[in-house]
Structure formats: structure tokens, C-alpha cells
Amino acid sequence: MSDAKVFILVTHADGKADDSAFELAAASGRLFPGASTTALVVGSGVDAVCQEVATVFGEVWKFDQAALAYPNAELLRPLLVKVLPAGSRVLLAHNTFGLDLGPGLSVKLGAAYVPDVVGAEGLDGATLKVIRQEFAGQVSAHVACDISKGAVVSVRPGAFKPEPSGATGGPVVDRSTEATGLSARRSFVEVISAEAGDIDITKEDVLVSVGRGIGEQENLALVEALAEAMGAGLSCSRPIVDAKWLEKPRQVGTSGQTVKPKVYLALGISGSFQHMGGIKGNPFMIAVNKNPKAPIFQVASVGVVADLLELVPALTEKIKKGK
């Protein structure tokens, strides 16, 4: 069965394929070695995207319709159920669109759903073996899936590095006429962009970033004092914004800002992949966390297991004296 086709759903915006498309091409090679790949590009005016991804896939199926202009998972799902052969293996990114589409798609296809895959362990007949993470990345798990009736696999962004492709540019097959007569009980209204405001953490070379480990709102003053002493920007992880302790424009992560500092001091941040996904440019990262199992210690340059409430004021004091 290893010659069964793999279908890859391409996420795209503004005429460009998302990085995840190329990561999924690499993931397909690791999860289903030797299988031929078909990219699915759905949207309106997607020729450029099709050409772009044709370089890494065996072929591209284009579904180009005005009605599909904004990706609405509720519209796309019936289309995919219609065009995908029984037993298909489908790869999609574990991003906000994949989370919307994937689980229901697996049900409608009668296929296994394997969410948020971070590694491949091999394909043994109809048993796909993968690696996932649980408990906010504190432990990993080997997972075995019966994919005899097909599979929908969502792949964590960033988990598979794009590889130079052996493909020489597959054909683009226009199947747009099949993408008609679709209706959904959910309709797109608009996208509201994040408020800009006068806070811009994306331009900062040095960021002091605070997470849930700070404990109480009043302790934030300690971190603010440190950032001020360092001359650094102040950013945070999601729980701080959820609690309304800091403004949304200060949030680093896939659902917040993408930052490219040279130095990143992470205080009480566990290091979820959504948070780490917002940090680019490989900064020098110092992580302070009271939990020695915090996943951020796997990626930080330097780690300290300590109580923020003691260490942060001590560091602020030393910086002030050293100036």
C-alpha cells in the first residue's frame, strides 16, 4: 500500500503558498516514503500558488472558483469528500485552518485522524507510526494508527524541515469545474486585522518576555523594572494576554506577533510550540522557569531553574549597579 497517493492541502494567502506547504512535502516523504504526492490548491486566482508548489509535488490539482475566495473549511470539506478517492491519505498543517477542517474531514472520509504530528516513525503495512506531544510538550508519545481506511494527518508547523525536492515540476491539473454547487451553513464575513497601536515588539533587538510563571498581576512590575534596566522591549506569552494583564500587541506567538530579536529572555514561559512559532531569527535565548521539565529548556541557549520573584529583582539590581 506504500504506493497509495498522498494528498497535501496547501494553505496560502495573497497569492503565496504558506511555508507549511513545503514542510508538508518533506513530511510526506518521511511518513509515506516513495508515495506520489498531489497538492490540492483551493481558492480564487490561485495560478501563482499552483506554479509555486508544483516544484515540490508530483502534481497539483487546482480548484479555482470565486466562491472559494476565502478558505471556509465548511465549504472545502464537502469538496474534498467529493474528489478524494476512498482510502486517501491527506496531509494538512496543524494551523488554524487545519484545526477547522481536519477532524470533520476524517469523519466524512471514514479515515483515521492523527492530529499535531511532530515526527515519523515508519509505515508498517496499514499501521502508521508517528510521534506526538502531550501535556503542553512536557512528554512525547509514540502513536500507532490504523490507516487501512485512509488517514487525515495534521502536521505541526515547523516540525519537518523543507528538503530540496527531487521533483522537476509536476503538472497542474485544473479541476475547478468540480468545485461548483457547494454550500455551507457557515459564511465568511470579514477578517479583522490585529490592532496596531503604538506598541511594536517586532522591531526590538532585545525582548524580556513574561509568561504564566509570574503568578500574579502585581509581580509584573518586577519584570517591567528589569526590561527598563536592560533597555529592552516587554513582551509576553498568551496566558498574560488572556488574563488581560498586558495588551494583545505584546503577545509573541502564532496567534500574536512574530519577533526577530537578537536576545530573548523568557521568564516563566513553558515554551508551547504556538509561542515558539512566533520567534524567528534564532536569537540568543535565556529561559528562566521553576519547572525543570518545561519544554523551553530544549530550545533555549541557556536555562535557569529558579523562582522569578527572587532572580528577577536580583538581576535588575546587578544591572543597575553595573551601569
Partner 1 sequence: MDILVCVKRVPDSAENEISVAAGGADIHRDDLVYSVNEWDNYAVEEAIQITERLGGTVTVVSLGDSEAEEVVRREMAMGAGQGLLLVDGAFTGSDGLGIATILKAAVQKGRYDLILTGAQADDGGGQVGGMLAALLDWPFASLVNRIDVNEGKPLRIGREIEGGAQEVSDIETPCVLSIQTGINEPRYVGIRGIRKVASVEIPVLDATALGVETASVGSAGAKVRRVDYFVPVAGAGAEMLTGSTDELAGKLLDLLKAKGGIK
Contacts with partner 1 in 54-73 (CB under 8 A)?
72-73
Assess 234 for contact with partner 1 (CB under 8 A).
no
Assess 228 for contact with partner 1 (CB under 8 A).
no
**161-180: which residues touch partner 1 (CB under 8 A)?**
none
Shortest distance, CB of residue 286 to partner 1, whole angstroms?
7
Binding partner 1 by CB under 8 A: which of 36, 55, 219, 255? 255
Antiparallel, parallel or unpaired: β 119-124 and 127-134: antiparallel
Q: DSSP character for 162? A: -
Assess 306 for contact with partner 1 (CB under 8 A).
yes
Binding partner 1 by CB under 8 A: which of 1, 139, 173, 221? 139
**82-101: which residues touch partner 1 (CB under 8 A)?**
94-97, 99-101
* 158/93 Cα distance (integer angstroms): 10
Of 266, 303, 277, 71, which is closest to residue 187 (Cα–Cα)?
A: 71
Binding partner 1 by CB under 8 A: which of 14, 161, 168, 192? 192
The three three-digit cell numbers of residue 184, written as one number: 455551507
* 319/266 Cα distance (integer angstroms): 17
Q: Write the secondary structure of 235-272 as one string of H (helix), E (strand) and C (coil).
A: EECHHHHHCCCCCHHHEECCCCECECCCEEEEECCCCC
Q: Between 127 and 180, whose beta carbon lies closer to partner 1?
A: 127
* 40/68 Cα distance (integer angstroms): 13
Assess 143 for contact with partner 1 (CB under 8 A).
yes
User: Which residues pair with residue 57 across a beta bridge?
Assistant: none
Q: With contact defined as beta carbons under 8 Å apart, do 145 and 128 qualify?
A: yes
**Contact mark string toward partner 1, 10..29, x via CB under 8 A:** --------------------
Shortest distance, CB of residue 170 to partner 1, whole angstroms?
27
Q: Between 44 and 96, whose beta carbon lies closer to partner 1?
A: 96
Q: Between 59 and 245, whose beta carbon lies closer to partner 1?
A: 245
Assess 280 for contact with partner 1 (CB under 8 A).
no
Shortest distance, CB of residue 267 to partner 1, whole angstroms?
11
Burial class (CB in 10 A: 0-12, 13-18, 19+), 135: exposed
Of 95, 92, 105, 149, which is closest to residue 126 (Cα–Cα)?
A: 149
Assess 284 for contact with partner 1 (CB under 8 A).
yes
Number of residues that bind partner 1 (CB under 8 A): 102
Burial class (CB in 10 A: 0-12, 13-18, 19+), 71: middle
Angle between the N-to-C axes of helices 220-230 and 308-322, in degrees from 0 to 180, rounded to the nearest 10:
30
Q: Between 5 and 132, whose beta carbon lies closer to partner 1?
A: 132
Q: Between 173 and 302, whose beta carbon lies closer to partner 1?
A: 302
Assess 47 for contact with partner 1 (CB under 8 A).
no
Shortest distance, CB of residue 172 to partner 1, whole angstroms?
26
